[in-house]
Structure 1
Amino acid sequence: MTERNMIISLALWAGKNLTKTMITMMPKLAAMIIKGKDT
C-alpha cells in the first residue's frame, strides 16, 4: 500500500466516523445552540 493510498483510505475512514459522530452529536449540539439563543 502506497503512502497516497493510505492517506486516502484514512481520510475515507475518518469521513465515515465523522458522519456517524455528527449524527449522534447533532441533537446535543442543536439543544446547546437553542439554549444559547434563549439567554
Structure 2
Amino acid sequence: MHIHLVLFLVARKALMATEQPSGPTQNKRTRERMMYFVGL
C-alpha cells in the first residue's frame, strides 16, 4: 500500500511538472498536498 502511495505521488509530480514546468506557487501547493497525503 505504501509503495502504491509513492507511485501515485511520483506520477502526480511528473504530471504537474509536465503541465507547468515553471510554477513556484503551484509546486509549493503540490508539495503541501503531498505532505498531507504522506501524513494521512
| Structure 1 length-normalised TM | 0.50
| Structure 2 length-normalised TM | 0.49
Return the structure number with greater relative CO, CA threshold 8 A, min gap 6: 2
Greater share of helix: 1
Max radius of gyration: which structure? Answer: 1
